[in-house]
């Protein structure tokens, strides 16, 4: 029997270790002296310091907490009152309302998110903090109702009547008789509501705007580059949750213990402790909000440009924060900087009526936006820095005269390889087909991008990556499926960066900008662009037709394209700058990327192509790529 209990304890311990080890791992690496998430190189508090110095992160924490607190309070009150009202309603009404209440819970979050976004658009509400708060209240209320209803069912139906017979008013009967009896359900509902609000990403992403982000959306858009400050933020959140749980569990025990010793702790004392804790949190929120504010003088900007606000929509981790701060200081304006994770998500928000002054979509998406007449021409007289564009980004096929777009970054897709395990002459001989070489089975990464994965397959087969031939696309599908079935690759996204820096695999399909960063961190890594050709991609700044501040938008594009700002951005991200002088500086003699074969894109190679937009082909390869991943 003792052996049985010992074995059970060991099993429970192993289960708890399995579930909590990732949290412990994160806690340890929040104190890492390097950026690596796999190699601990010494103790440091630098990531905590950088977190508190990052105004975007502080602002996200503030909006997350204030939204969660307000949504929890309102949804708990509304949900509790609704549940009490339903408990006294006729059965048919109660059943009907509860069925409606279950819909938001059972609905996929993406459906709820898009529905709320379209609802706000129909009401012409400008998306921001208030729309996000209303959405959080809406999806938290059903969870409170579901938590309170079981407690109400267990009550005596005549309890409230008895209280009123003794002289209580209906409100007093509810407040002093019903509510204390169902308090465990109310607390449970409130905790669930707070957790759901604090954790939500999908709905928040679609219903917020004007630079308002919560922690979930911020972390999602920061995934392009490894940012250990996320570990520091997560550690603080875990610490705060632990303190809260300790208070919730220890204070009742202390009260019970004091009562046994005839030294009872009054509810007033407990209330004072709770109020002090709440005031501490409130002071922290106020400090976060004040720390996120940026003073500026906007009078000249309003007089000159008609506005003191510029809205920019860019990829996550795609711009040095100092660039926007410098623009704000020089022009006396506020830059509302939102980020996205994919061209398709960006397009969805634009279709939902969102208005921005500057966008940074990719080549094929710019072509789509031009076809749909969504963009307005640039005012070139306000963008003199256009003359600094590198030759490789002038006259690109989607905008040959640069009438609508100014390239921001550009590059290629190639193969990062471990020079100690993979010979360059082998790569030159096999090209993309090295991804089918059994010698590297289980030792390679594929990038989870349908377009770029099909580009690799099509180029390996000798086809154009812009082919519309369904037979060729099916051959590419079979090529990719064979790689997945025979080579056991890992299909990843941006986690490939840290993985290849640490040498976890021998081969990886990677964007050149990410490859440049990998090579700068690990000298054993090399970058190769196969002779079959590759995707010559570019992301560019454009101005939508519905932009509210086009004059300021043109000034911003010119500012970002300047040598100093282009240099800051390229150093921050590692992608090739569209500014020709910056390219020469960083890749030249004793430059930051001197000798880094991934930084400078290949120019003039006839087999390299730019993606063209084709809705039918896009849908087809999207469906086929899903099948490839399922095959794995």
Express each pLDDT in 269-293 by its tens digit: 555 555 555 555 555 555 555 544 4
Tell me phi and psi for residue 306, to 5 degrees: 80, 5
Q: Please classify residue 577 by burial: count the beta carbons closer than 10 Å to its beta carbon, then call 0-12 exposed, 13-18 middle and 19+ buried.
A: buried
pLDDT for the residue 286: 53
With vertex at residue 219, the alpha carbon angle to CA 321 and CA 37, rounded to the nearest 5 degrees, is 95
pLDDT number for residue 77 = 92
Average pLDDT over the chain reads 85
CB 342 within 8 A of CB 350: no
Reduced to 3 states, what is the DSSP secondary structure of residue 314? strand
E-only strand ranges, 455-567: 490-492, 507-511, 525-528, 537-542
* Least confident residue range of 83-87, 160-164, 393-397, 462-466: 160-164
C-alpha closest to that of 308 among 557, 60, 548: 548
Residues 6+ apart with CB under 8 A from 39: 502
Q: Which residue has the higher pLDDT, 3 or 578?
A: 578
* Cβ pair 447, 496 in contact under 8 A: yes
Report how far residue 456's alpha carbon sits from residue 461's, in angstroms, rounded to the nearest whole number. Answer: 9
DSSP at 264:
P
pLDDT band at 299 (very low <50, low <70, confident <90, very high): low
SS (H, E, C) 336-350: EEEEECCHHHHHHHH
Q: What is the pLDDT of residue 2?
A: 60
pLDDT exceeds 60 at position 263: no
Percent of the chain with pLDDT over 90: 42
Q: Looking at the predicted structure, is the pLDDT value of residue 296 above 60?
A: no
pLDDT band, residue 465 (cuts 50/70/90): very high
For range 51-64, the mean pLDDT: 83
pLDDT at residue 574, rounded to an integer: 87
CA gap 479, 472 in Å, rounded: 11
Neighbours of 499 (CB within 10 A): 18
| Integer Cα distance of 504 and 171 in angstroms | 65
| The predicted structure's pLDDT at residue 272 | 55
C-alpha dihedral, 64 to 68 to 69 to 70, nearest 10°: 110
For residues 307-316, average pLDDT: 88
| Cα–Cα nearest to 338, from 322, 354, 352 | 354
Residues 6+ apart with CB under 8 A from 618: 451
Measured N-to-C along each axis, helices 55-87 and 183-199 cross at an angle, to the nearest 10 degrees, of 150
pLDDT at 52: 82
Which pLDDT band holds residue 389 (cuts at 50, 70, 90)? very high
SS3 content of the chain, % helix, strand, coil (to 5): 60, 10, 30
Give the pLDDT confidence of 403-450 residue by residue, as tens digits: 999 999 999 999 999 999 999 999 999 999 999 999 999 999 999 999
CB 507 within 8 A of CB 445: yes
Residue 165 has a CB neighbour count (10 Å cut-off) of 10
The pLDDT, as a whole number, for residue 117 is 85
pLDDT band at 62 (very low <50, low <70, confident <90, very high): confident
pLDDT for 292 equals 44
**CA 336, 552, 215: angle at the middle one, nearest 5?**
10
**Backbone φ and ψ of 591, nearest 5°:** -75, 170
Tell which wins on pLDDT, 598 or 290.
598
Whether residue 258 is predicted with pLDDT greater than 80 in this model: the reply is no
Q: What is the mean pLDDT of residues 174-203?
A: 85
Is there a contact between 544 and 196 (Cβ–Cβ < 8 Å)?
no
Q: What does residue 165 show for φ and ψ, rounded to 5 degrees?
A: -65, -30
Structural domains of the chain ordered from first start: 52-228 (1.10.3720.10), 307-411+538-587 (3.40.190.10), 413-535+602-631 (3.40.190.10)
> What torsion, rounded to 10 degrees, do the Cα atoms 152, 158, 164, 169 define?
20
């Amino acid at each position: 029997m003792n052996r049985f209990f010992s074995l059970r304890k060991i099993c429970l311990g192993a289960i708890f270790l399995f579930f909590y080890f990732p949290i412990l791992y994160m806690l340890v690496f929040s104190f890492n002296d390097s950026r690596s998430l796999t190699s601990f190189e010494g103790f440091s508090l630098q990531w905590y310091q950088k977190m508190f110095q990052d105004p975007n992160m502080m602002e996200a924490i503030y909006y997350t907490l204030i939204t969660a607190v307000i949504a929890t309070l309102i949804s708990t009150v509304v949900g509790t009152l609704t549940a009490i009202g339903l408990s006294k309603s006729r059965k048919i009404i109660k059943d009907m309302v509860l069925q409606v209440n279950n819909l938001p819970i059972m609905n996929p979050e993406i459906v709820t998110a898009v529905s709320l976004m379209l609802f706000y658009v129909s009401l012409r509400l400008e998306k921001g903090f208030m729309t996000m708060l209303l959405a959080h209240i809406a999806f938290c209320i059903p969870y409170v109702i579901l938590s309170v209803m079981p407690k109400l069912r267990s009550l005596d139906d005549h309890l409230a009547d008895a209280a009123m017979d003794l002289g209580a008013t209906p409100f007093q009967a509810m407040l002093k008789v019903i509510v204390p009896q169902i308090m465990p359900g109310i607390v449970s509902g409130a905790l669930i509501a707070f957790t759901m609000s604090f954790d939500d990403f999908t709905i928040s992403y679609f219903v917020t705007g004007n630079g308002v982000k919560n922690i979930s959306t911020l972390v999602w858009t920061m995934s392009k580059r490894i940012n250990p400050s996320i570990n520091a933020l997560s550690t603080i959140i875990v610490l705060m949750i632990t303190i809260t749980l300790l208070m919730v569990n220890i204070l009742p025990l202390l009260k019970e213990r004091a009562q046994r010793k005839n030294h009872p702790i009054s509810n007033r004392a407990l209330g004072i402790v709770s109020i002090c804790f709440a005031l501490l949190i409130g002071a922290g929120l106020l400090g976060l909000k004040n720390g996120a504010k940026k003073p500026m003088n906007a009078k000249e900007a309003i007089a000159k440009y008609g506005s003191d606000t510029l809205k920019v929509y860019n990829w996550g981790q795609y711009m040095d924060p100092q660039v926007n701060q410098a623009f704000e200081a020089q022009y006396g304006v506020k830059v509302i900087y939102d980020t996205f994770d994919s061209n398709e998500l960006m397009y969805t928000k634009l279709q939902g009526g969102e208005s921005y002054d500057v966008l940074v979509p990719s080549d094929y998406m710019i072509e789509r936006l031009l076809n749909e007449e969504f963009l307005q021409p640039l005012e070139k007289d306000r963008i003199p820095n256009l003359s600094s564009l590198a030759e490789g980004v002038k006259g690109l096929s989607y905008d040959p005269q640069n009438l609508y777009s100014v390239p921001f970054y550009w590059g290629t897709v190639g193969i990062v390889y471990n020079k100690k395990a993979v010979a360059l002459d082998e790569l030159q001989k096999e090209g993309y087909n090295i991804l089918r070489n059994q010698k590297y089975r289980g030792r390679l990464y594929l990038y989870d991008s349908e377009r770029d994965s099909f580009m690799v397959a099509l180029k390996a087969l000798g086809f154009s990556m812009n082919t519309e031939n369904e037979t060729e696309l099916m051959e590419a599908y079979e090529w990719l499926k064979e790689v997945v079935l025979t080579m056991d690759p890992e299909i990843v996204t941006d986690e490939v960066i840290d993985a290849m820096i640490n040498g976890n695999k021998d081969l990886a399909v990677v964007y050149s900008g990410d490859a440049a960063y990998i090579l700068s961190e690990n000298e054993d890594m090399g970058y190769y662009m196969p002779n079959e050709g590759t995707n010559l991609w570019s992301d560019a700044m454009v101005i939508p037709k519905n932009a509210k501040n086009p004059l300021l938008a043109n000034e911003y594009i010119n500012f970002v394209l300047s040598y100093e700002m282009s240099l800051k951005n390229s150093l921050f991200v590692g992608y090739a700058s569209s500014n020709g002088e910056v390219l020469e500086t960083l890749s030249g003699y004793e430059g930051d990327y001197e000798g880094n074969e991934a930084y400078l894109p290949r120019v003039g190679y006839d087999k390299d192509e730019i993606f063209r937009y084709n809705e039918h082909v896009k849908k087809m390869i999207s469906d086929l790529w899903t099948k490839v991943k399922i095959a794995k």
